[in-house]
Structure 1
Amino acid sequence: MRLEVKNLAKRFTIHTRGGVEIEGFSNISFSVKKGSFLSLRGSSGSGKSSVLKTIYRSYLPSGGAICLHTDEGSYDLAKVSDSAMLEIRERYIGYVSQFLQVLPRIGAVDIVATPLVQKGESEAVAKQKAREMLDFFGIKEELFSLSPLTFSGGEQQRVNIAKGIIAPKMLLLLDEPTASLDATNRKKVLEKLHTLKNEGVSMIGIFHDKASMEEISNEIYDIQG
Protein backbone atom coordinates (compact mmCIF):
# COMPACT_ATOMS: atom_id res chain seq x y z
CA MET A 1 0.00 0.00 0.00
CA ARG A 2 1.34 3.42 -0.93
CA LEU A 3 -1.18 5.76 0.75
CA GLU A 4 -3.89 5.28 3.37
CA VAL A 5 -6.34 8.07 4.15
CA LYS A 6 -8.41 7.48 7.29
CA ASN A 7 -11.37 9.58 8.46
CA LEU A 8 -9.87 12.72 6.93
CA ALA A 9 -11.71 15.98 7.66
CA LYS A 10 -11.21 19.66 6.95
CA ARG A 11 -13.05 22.65 8.39
CA PHE A 12 -12.41 26.19 7.19
CA THR A 13 -12.53 29.24 9.43
CA ILE A 14 -13.92 32.32 7.68
CA HIS A 15 -12.24 35.19 9.49
CA THR A 16 -14.06 37.85 7.46
CA ARG A 17 -17.33 36.50 8.86
CA GLY A 18 -16.45 36.58 12.54
CA GLY A 19 -14.56 33.30 12.59
CA VAL A 20 -17.50 31.14 11.49
CA GLU A 21 -16.49 27.58 10.56
CA ILE A 22 -17.70 25.69 7.51
CA GLU A 23 -17.08 22.04 6.72
CA GLY A 24 -15.04 21.33 3.63
CA PHE A 25 -15.33 17.55 3.90
CA SER A 26 -15.36 14.82 6.54
CA ASN A 27 -15.06 11.04 6.98
CA ILE A 28 -12.89 10.54 3.90
CA SER A 29 -11.22 7.11 3.88
CA PHE A 30 -9.49 5.33 1.00
CA SER A 31 -6.21 3.64 0.11
CA VAL A 32 -4.02 3.64 -2.98
CA LYS A 33 -1.70 0.82 -3.96
CA LYS A 34 1.61 1.12 -5.76
CA GLY A 35 1.01 1.70 -9.48
CA SER A 36 -2.71 2.33 -8.98
CA PHE A 37 -4.90 5.29 -9.96
CA LEU A 38 -7.73 6.42 -7.69
CA SER A 39 -10.16 9.09 -8.92
CA LEU A 40 -12.21 11.36 -6.68
CA ARG A 41 -15.76 11.85 -7.92
CA GLY A 42 -18.39 14.23 -6.60
CA SER A 43 -20.52 17.25 -7.37
CA SER A 44 -19.07 20.74 -7.61
CA GLY A 45 -18.25 21.97 -4.12
CA SER A 46 -18.09 18.50 -2.59
CA GLY A 47 -14.45 19.01 -1.62
CA LYS A 48 -12.50 17.02 -4.23
CA SER A 49 -9.77 19.61 -4.77
CA SER A 50 -9.65 20.32 -1.04
CA VAL A 51 -8.93 16.62 -0.38
CA LEU A 52 -5.96 16.76 -2.77
CA LYS A 53 -4.68 19.98 -1.20
CA THR A 54 -5.00 18.46 2.27
CA ILE A 55 -3.01 15.38 1.25
CA TYR A 56 -0.36 17.72 -0.18
CA ARG A 57 -0.65 19.75 3.03
CA SER A 58 -1.49 23.02 1.33
CA TYR A 59 -4.37 22.75 3.83
CA LEU A 60 -3.80 21.50 7.35
CA PRO A 61 -6.34 18.74 8.10
CA SER A 62 -8.82 19.17 10.94
CA GLY A 63 -8.84 15.45 11.73
CA GLY A 64 -7.89 12.01 10.51
CA ALA A 65 -4.68 10.44 9.20
CA ILE A 66 -2.80 10.44 5.88
CA CYS A 67 -0.25 7.62 5.95
CA LEU A 68 2.35 7.63 3.18
CA HIS A 69 4.40 4.44 2.94
CA THR A 70 7.86 4.68 1.38
CA ASP A 71 10.86 2.37 1.21
CA GLU A 72 12.48 4.48 3.93
CA GLY A 73 9.52 4.42 6.31
CA SER A 74 5.96 5.62 6.84
CA TYR A 75 4.77 9.16 7.54
CA ASP A 76 1.46 10.56 8.77
CA LEU A 77 1.17 13.66 6.61
CA ALA A 78 -1.52 15.00 8.92
CA LYS A 79 0.96 15.24 11.79
CA VAL A 80 4.46 15.81 10.44
CA SER A 81 6.02 19.26 10.90
CA ASP A 82 5.92 21.82 8.11
CA SER A 83 9.65 21.45 7.49
CA ALA A 84 9.33 17.65 7.32
CA MET A 85 6.41 17.99 4.92
CA LEU A 86 8.47 20.16 2.58
CA GLU A 87 11.13 17.45 2.45
CA ILE A 88 8.50 14.74 1.89
CA ARG A 89 7.03 16.72 -1.01
CA GLU A 90 10.46 17.16 -2.56
CA ARG A 91 11.24 13.45 -2.36
CA TYR A 92 7.94 11.66 -2.72
CA ILE A 93 4.89 13.71 -3.82
CA GLY A 94 4.13 15.56 -7.05
CA TYR A 95 1.17 17.87 -7.61
CA VAL A 96 -0.36 19.02 -10.89
CA SER A 97 -2.81 21.85 -10.28
CA GLN A 98 -5.50 23.11 -12.64
CA PHE A 99 -3.47 26.19 -13.56
CA LEU A 100 0.12 26.81 -14.60
CA GLN A 101 1.99 28.82 -11.97
CA VAL A 102 5.44 29.87 -13.13
CA LEU A 103 7.71 32.89 -13.06
CA PRO A 104 7.42 35.20 -16.07
CA ARG A 105 10.06 35.33 -18.85
CA ILE A 106 11.18 31.72 -18.34
CA GLY A 107 10.86 29.56 -21.45
CA ALA A 108 8.71 26.47 -21.65
CA VAL A 109 11.69 24.15 -22.15
CA ASP A 110 13.42 25.46 -19.03
CA ILE A 111 10.22 25.12 -16.99
CA VAL A 112 9.65 21.52 -18.04
CA ALA A 113 13.34 20.60 -17.67
CA THR A 114 13.65 21.97 -14.12
CA PRO A 115 12.28 18.87 -12.27
CA LEU A 116 14.83 16.68 -14.07
CA VAL A 117 17.70 19.02 -13.20
CA GLN A 118 16.56 18.98 -9.58
CA LYS A 119 16.79 15.18 -9.63
CA GLY A 120 20.40 15.36 -10.83
CA GLU A 121 20.02 15.16 -14.63
CA SER A 122 22.44 17.27 -16.64
CA GLU A 123 20.96 20.46 -18.05
CA ALA A 124 21.58 19.36 -21.65
CA VAL A 125 19.86 15.99 -21.20
CA ALA A 126 17.02 17.53 -19.20
CA LYS A 127 16.32 20.11 -21.90
CA GLN A 128 16.35 17.46 -24.63
CA LYS A 129 13.83 15.36 -22.71
CA ALA A 130 11.75 18.49 -22.11
CA ARG A 131 11.71 19.23 -25.85
CA GLU A 132 10.58 15.67 -26.56
CA MET A 133 7.81 15.94 -23.96
CA LEU A 134 6.58 19.28 -25.28
CA ASP A 135 6.64 17.92 -28.83
CA PHE A 136 4.63 14.88 -27.71
CA PHE A 137 1.99 17.21 -26.30
CA GLY A 138 1.79 19.18 -29.52
CA ILE A 139 3.58 22.36 -28.45
CA LYS A 140 5.14 23.98 -31.53
CA GLU A 141 8.94 24.14 -31.55
CA GLU A 142 8.93 27.90 -32.12
CA LEU A 143 7.23 28.28 -28.73
CA PHE A 144 9.78 26.25 -26.75
CA SER A 145 11.89 29.25 -25.71
CA LEU A 146 8.91 31.52 -24.95
CA SER A 147 7.16 31.99 -21.63
CA PRO A 148 4.07 29.75 -21.48
CA LEU A 149 2.26 32.62 -19.78
CA THR A 150 1.81 33.94 -23.34
CA PHE A 151 0.26 30.63 -24.51
CA SER A 152 -3.39 29.68 -24.87
CA GLY A 153 -5.15 27.99 -21.95
CA GLY A 154 -4.86 24.55 -23.53
CA GLU A 155 -1.17 25.04 -24.31
CA GLN A 156 -0.50 26.19 -20.76
CA GLN A 157 -2.23 23.10 -19.41
CA ARG A 158 -0.09 20.85 -21.59
CA VAL A 159 3.08 22.55 -20.35
CA ASN A 160 1.78 22.18 -16.80
CA ILE A 161 1.22 18.44 -17.25
CA ALA A 162 4.60 17.97 -18.95
CA LYS A 163 6.32 19.69 -16.02
CA GLY A 164 4.36 17.59 -13.52
CA ILE A 165 5.07 14.17 -15.02
CA ILE A 166 8.51 14.44 -16.63
CA ALA A 167 10.24 13.44 -13.37
CA PRO A 168 7.46 11.57 -11.53
CA LYS A 169 7.63 10.91 -7.80
CA MET A 170 6.08 7.88 -6.11
CA LEU A 171 2.77 9.68 -5.48
CA LEU A 172 1.24 12.07 -7.99
CA LEU A 173 -1.81 14.26 -7.29
CA LEU A 174 -3.65 15.58 -10.36
CA ASP A 175 -6.38 18.22 -10.22
CA GLU A 176 -8.30 18.26 -13.53
CA PRO A 177 -5.27 17.40 -15.73
CA THR A 178 -7.38 17.21 -18.92
CA ALA A 179 -9.76 20.11 -18.23
CA SER A 180 -8.68 22.46 -21.05
CA LEU A 181 -7.69 19.83 -23.59
CA ASP A 182 -9.25 18.59 -26.79
CA ALA A 183 -9.86 14.88 -27.44
CA THR A 184 -6.45 14.34 -29.08
CA ASN A 185 -4.49 15.81 -26.20
CA ARG A 186 -6.67 14.13 -23.56
CA LYS A 187 -5.71 10.84 -25.20
CA LYS A 188 -2.02 11.79 -25.04
CA VAL A 189 -2.25 12.67 -21.35
CA LEU A 190 -3.95 9.37 -20.57
CA GLU A 191 -1.25 7.53 -22.54
CA LYS A 192 1.43 9.09 -20.33
CA LEU A 193 -0.55 8.36 -17.16
CA HIS A 194 -0.86 4.70 -18.17
CA THR A 195 2.92 4.62 -18.62
CA LEU A 196 3.43 6.06 -15.14
CA LYS A 197 1.12 3.43 -13.66
CA ASN A 198 3.18 0.71 -15.33
CA GLU A 199 6.29 2.27 -13.78
CA GLY A 200 4.76 1.95 -10.31
CA VAL A 201 3.67 5.56 -9.73
CA SER A 202 0.59 5.86 -7.53
CA MET A 203 -1.88 8.58 -8.49
CA ILE A 204 -4.96 10.35 -7.18
CA GLY A 205 -6.86 12.49 -9.66
CA ILE A 206 -9.93 14.55 -10.41
CA PHE A 207 -11.50 14.53 -13.86
CA HIS A 208 -14.26 16.65 -15.36
CA ASP A 209 -14.39 14.18 -18.25
CA LYS A 210 -16.16 10.97 -17.21
CA ALA A 211 -14.70 8.88 -20.03
CA SER A 212 -11.12 9.82 -19.08
CA MET A 213 -11.79 9.06 -15.43
CA GLU A 214 -13.22 5.63 -16.19
CA GLU A 215 -10.40 4.77 -18.58
CA ILE A 216 -7.50 5.51 -16.24
CA SER A 217 -8.96 4.63 -12.83
CA ASN A 218 -8.41 1.43 -10.91
CA GLU A 219 -10.87 2.73 -8.35
CA ILE A 220 -13.32 5.65 -8.08
CA TYR A 221 -14.06 7.16 -4.69
CA ASP A 222 -17.34 9.07 -4.35
CA ILE A 223 -17.32 12.20 -2.20
CA GLN A 224 -20.70 13.35 -0.98
CA GLY A 225 -21.11 17.10 -0.72
Structure 2
Amino acid sequence: MRENADIKIVGKNVILIPYEAKHVEKYHKWMSDPELLKLTASEPLTIDQEYEMQETWRNDEDKCTFLVLNKDVYERTKDEIEALIGDTNLFLNQDYFLPGSDDENPHQDLNNETIIAEAEIMIAEPEARGKGFGKEAILLMLKYGQSELGVQEFVSKIGYDNITSQHLFAKLQFEEQSRSDVFQEIAFKRTVDVAWVKWLNNEVSAYEIEDYVR
Protein backbone atom coordinates (compact mmCIF):
# COMPACT_ATOMS: atom_id res chain seq x y z
CA MET A 1 0.00 0.00 0.00
CA ARG A 2 1.46 3.33 -1.04
CA GLU A 3 -0.15 5.07 1.94
CA ASN A 4 2.24 3.39 4.37
CA ALA A 5 5.26 3.18 2.05
CA ASP A 6 7.03 6.19 3.56
CA ILE A 7 6.22 5.90 7.25
CA LYS A 8 7.19 3.86 10.26
CA ILE A 9 5.32 3.31 13.51
CA VAL A 10 7.42 3.45 16.65
CA GLY A 11 6.14 1.58 19.68
CA LYS A 12 7.63 0.77 23.07
CA ASN A 13 9.50 -2.40 22.09
CA VAL A 14 8.90 -2.74 18.34
CA ILE A 15 9.07 -0.59 15.25
CA LEU A 16 6.89 -1.21 12.21
CA ILE A 17 8.54 -0.38 8.87
CA PRO A 18 7.56 -0.77 5.19
CA TYR A 19 8.53 -3.97 3.37
CA GLU A 20 11.39 -3.04 1.04
CA ALA A 21 13.31 -5.02 -1.57
CA LYS A 22 16.31 -5.11 0.76
CA HIS A 23 14.29 -7.20 3.22
CA VAL A 24 13.20 -9.88 0.74
CA GLU A 25 16.14 -12.25 1.19
CA LYS A 26 15.57 -12.61 4.93
CA TYR A 27 11.80 -12.81 4.48
CA HIS A 28 12.23 -15.53 1.87
CA LYS A 29 14.41 -17.48 4.28
CA TRP A 30 11.66 -17.29 6.89
CA MET A 31 9.04 -18.51 4.44
CA SER A 32 11.15 -21.50 3.49
CA ASP A 33 10.37 -22.94 6.92
CA PRO A 34 7.60 -25.59 6.64
CA GLU A 35 6.32 -24.75 10.13
CA LEU A 36 5.82 -21.07 9.27
CA LEU A 37 4.19 -21.98 5.97
CA LYS A 38 1.70 -24.16 7.83
CA LEU A 39 0.98 -21.63 10.58
CA THR A 40 0.44 -18.82 8.06
CA ALA A 41 -1.40 -20.99 5.50
CA SER A 42 1.11 -19.84 2.87
CA GLU A 43 2.51 -21.43 -0.26
CA PRO A 44 6.28 -21.62 -0.81
CA LEU A 45 7.64 -19.07 -3.30
CA THR A 46 10.85 -18.80 -5.25
CA ILE A 47 13.08 -15.82 -4.48
CA ASP A 48 11.94 -14.17 -7.74
CA GLN A 49 8.31 -14.67 -6.76
CA GLU A 50 9.06 -13.19 -3.35
CA TYR A 51 10.43 -10.02 -4.98
CA GLU A 52 7.26 -9.82 -7.09
CA MET A 53 5.15 -10.27 -3.96
CA GLN A 54 7.04 -7.47 -2.23
CA GLU A 55 6.08 -5.16 -5.10
CA THR A 56 2.40 -6.05 -4.73
CA TRP A 57 2.54 -5.27 -1.01
CA ARG A 58 3.98 -1.88 -1.86
CA ASN A 59 1.60 -0.97 -4.68
CA ASP A 60 -1.75 -2.70 -4.09
CA GLU A 61 -4.19 -0.40 -2.31
CA ASP A 62 -6.01 -3.27 -0.59
CA LYS A 63 -2.89 -4.65 1.13
CA CYS A 64 -1.11 -2.99 4.03
CA THR A 65 2.01 -4.58 5.46
CA PHE A 66 4.68 -3.61 7.93
CA LEU A 67 7.74 -5.56 8.94
CA VAL A 68 8.41 -5.81 12.67
CA LEU A 69 11.73 -4.74 14.15
CA ASN A 70 13.00 -5.51 17.63
CA LYS A 71 13.42 -1.89 18.73
CA ASP A 72 16.25 -2.59 21.15
CA VAL A 73 18.28 -4.49 18.54
CA TYR A 74 17.70 -1.80 15.93
CA GLU A 75 18.68 1.06 18.25
CA ARG A 76 21.90 -0.76 19.14
CA THR A 77 22.88 -1.84 15.62
CA LYS A 78 21.00 0.48 13.22
CA ASP A 79 20.68 -2.67 11.10
CA GLU A 80 17.12 -3.38 9.95
CA ILE A 81 17.96 -6.84 8.65
CA GLU A 82 19.42 -7.95 11.97
CA ALA A 83 16.51 -6.42 13.87
CA LEU A 84 13.77 -7.99 11.70
CA ILE A 85 11.62 -10.46 13.63
CA GLY A 86 8.32 -10.73 11.73
CA ASP A 87 5.51 -8.96 9.91
CA THR A 88 1.93 -7.79 10.31
CA ASN A 89 -0.65 -7.35 7.56
CA LEU A 90 -4.08 -5.98 6.77
CA PHE A 91 -6.12 -7.09 3.74
CA LEU A 92 -8.74 -4.42 3.19
CA ASN A 93 -12.25 -5.09 1.86
CA GLN A 94 -11.36 -8.48 0.43
CA ASP A 95 -14.04 -10.75 -1.01
CA TYR A 96 -13.98 -13.43 1.64
CA PHE A 97 -16.27 -15.89 3.33
CA LEU A 98 -16.21 -16.59 7.02
CA PRO A 99 -15.14 -20.26 7.28
CA GLY A 100 -18.11 -22.44 8.11
CA SER A 101 -20.57 -19.69 7.29
CA ASP A 102 -23.76 -20.40 5.37
CA ASP A 103 -23.67 -16.96 3.75
CA GLU A 104 -24.02 -17.05 -0.01
CA ASN A 105 -22.41 -13.64 -0.45
CA PRO A 106 -18.93 -12.47 0.50
CA HIS A 107 -18.74 -10.83 3.91
CA GLN A 108 -18.15 -7.40 2.43
CA ASP A 109 -20.17 -4.26 1.85
CA LEU A 110 -20.28 -4.05 -1.95
CA ASN A 111 -20.71 -0.28 -1.78
CA ASN A 112 -17.63 -0.03 0.44
CA GLU A 113 -19.68 1.68 3.13
CA THR A 114 -18.04 -0.56 5.70
CA ILE A 115 -14.28 -0.98 5.64
CA ILE A 116 -13.36 -4.50 6.69
CA ALA A 117 -9.79 -5.70 7.16
CA GLU A 118 -8.37 -9.15 7.72
CA ALA A 119 -5.51 -8.89 10.23
CA GLU A 120 -2.42 -11.09 10.47
CA ILE A 121 0.67 -11.20 12.69
CA MET A 122 3.76 -13.39 12.38
CA ILE A 123 6.81 -13.47 14.64
CA ALA A 124 9.21 -15.51 12.53
CA GLU A 125 12.36 -15.44 14.65
CA PRO A 126 12.10 -18.21 17.28
CA GLU A 127 14.08 -16.31 19.91
CA ALA A 128 11.67 -13.36 19.61
CA ARG A 129 8.55 -15.39 20.40
CA GLY A 130 6.84 -15.34 23.78
CA LYS A 131 8.18 -11.89 24.65
CA GLY A 132 5.18 -9.74 23.80
CA PHE A 133 6.50 -8.47 20.47
CA GLY A 134 3.66 -10.03 18.50
CA LYS A 135 0.96 -8.56 20.73
CA GLU A 136 2.48 -5.08 20.60
CA ALA A 137 2.96 -5.23 16.82
CA ILE A 138 -0.62 -6.27 16.10
CA LEU A 139 -1.94 -3.65 18.55
CA LEU A 140 -0.02 -0.98 16.64
CA MET A 141 -1.36 -2.31 13.35
CA LEU A 142 -4.96 -2.39 14.62
CA LYS A 143 -4.61 1.19 15.88
CA TYR A 144 -3.18 2.27 12.52
CA GLY A 145 -5.99 0.51 10.66
CA GLN A 146 -8.66 2.04 12.87
CA SER A 147 -7.30 5.58 13.12
CA GLU A 148 -5.58 6.09 9.75
CA LEU A 149 -7.37 3.72 7.34
CA GLY A 150 -10.86 3.97 8.84
CA VAL A 151 -11.32 0.23 9.38
CA GLN A 152 -14.67 -0.49 11.01
CA GLU A 153 -14.39 -4.24 11.38
CA PHE A 154 -11.41 -6.56 11.77
CA VAL A 155 -11.41 -10.27 11.10
CA SER A 156 -8.76 -12.95 11.43
CA LYS A 157 -8.67 -16.52 10.16
CA ILE A 158 -6.46 -18.77 12.27
CA GLY A 159 -5.57 -22.42 11.81
CA TYR A 160 -6.77 -25.02 14.28
CA ASP A 161 -3.16 -25.81 15.22
CA ASN A 162 -2.15 -22.20 15.85
CA ILE A 163 -3.15 -22.07 19.50
CA THR A 164 -0.83 -19.15 20.26
CA SER A 165 -2.56 -16.88 17.73
CA GLN A 166 -6.00 -18.01 18.87
CA HIS A 167 -5.17 -16.96 22.44
CA LEU A 168 -3.65 -13.69 21.23
CA PHE A 169 -6.71 -12.60 19.26
CA ALA A 170 -8.97 -13.56 22.15
CA LYS A 171 -6.90 -11.20 24.32
CA LEU A 172 -7.46 -8.53 21.66
CA GLN A 173 -11.20 -8.93 22.30
CA PHE A 174 -11.87 -10.69 18.99
CA GLU A 175 -14.76 -13.15 19.19
CA GLU A 176 -14.99 -16.51 17.48
CA GLN A 177 -17.54 -16.46 14.65
CA SER A 178 -17.27 -19.84 12.95
CA ARG A 179 -15.11 -22.87 12.26
CA SER A 180 -14.28 -24.69 9.05
CA ASP A 181 -13.18 -28.31 9.21
CA VAL A 182 -12.49 -28.15 5.48
CA PHE A 183 -9.94 -25.35 5.80
CA GLN A 184 -9.03 -26.20 9.40
CA GLU A 185 -9.61 -22.56 10.36
CA ILE A 186 -11.38 -20.53 13.01
CA ALA A 187 -12.77 -17.12 12.06
CA PHE A 188 -12.56 -14.33 14.63
CA LYS A 189 -14.16 -10.88 14.38
CA ARG A 190 -13.88 -7.55 16.17
CA THR A 191 -16.24 -4.69 15.43
CA VAL A 192 -14.70 -1.27 16.00
CA ASP A 193 -16.87 0.53 18.54
CA VAL A 194 -16.31 3.29 21.09
CA ALA A 195 -15.60 0.92 23.99
CA TRP A 196 -13.07 -1.13 22.02
CA VAL A 197 -11.25 1.94 20.69
CA LYS A 198 -10.92 3.18 24.28
CA TRP A 199 -9.56 -0.23 25.29
CA LEU A 200 -7.17 -0.25 22.31
CA ASN A 201 -5.82 3.20 23.14
CA ASN A 202 -5.22 2.13 26.73
CA GLU A 203 -3.36 -0.98 25.58
CA VAL A 204 -1.03 0.92 23.24
CA SER A 205 1.56 2.45 25.52
CA ALA A 206 3.56 4.11 22.73
CA TYR A 207 2.54 5.01 19.18
CA GLU A 208 4.36 7.49 16.99
CA ILE A 209 4.08 7.75 13.21
CA GLU A 210 7.33 9.04 11.75
CA ASP A 211 8.88 9.41 8.30
CA TYR A 212 10.67 6.29 7.10
CA VAL A 213 14.15 7.20 5.92
CA ARG A 214 15.66 4.78 3.43
Q: TM-score with structure 1 length normalisation?
A: 0.29
Larger radius of gyration: 1
Which structure ranks higher in relative contact order (CA pairs < 8 Å, sequence separation ≥ 6)? 1
Q: TM-score with structure 2 length normalisation?
A: 0.30
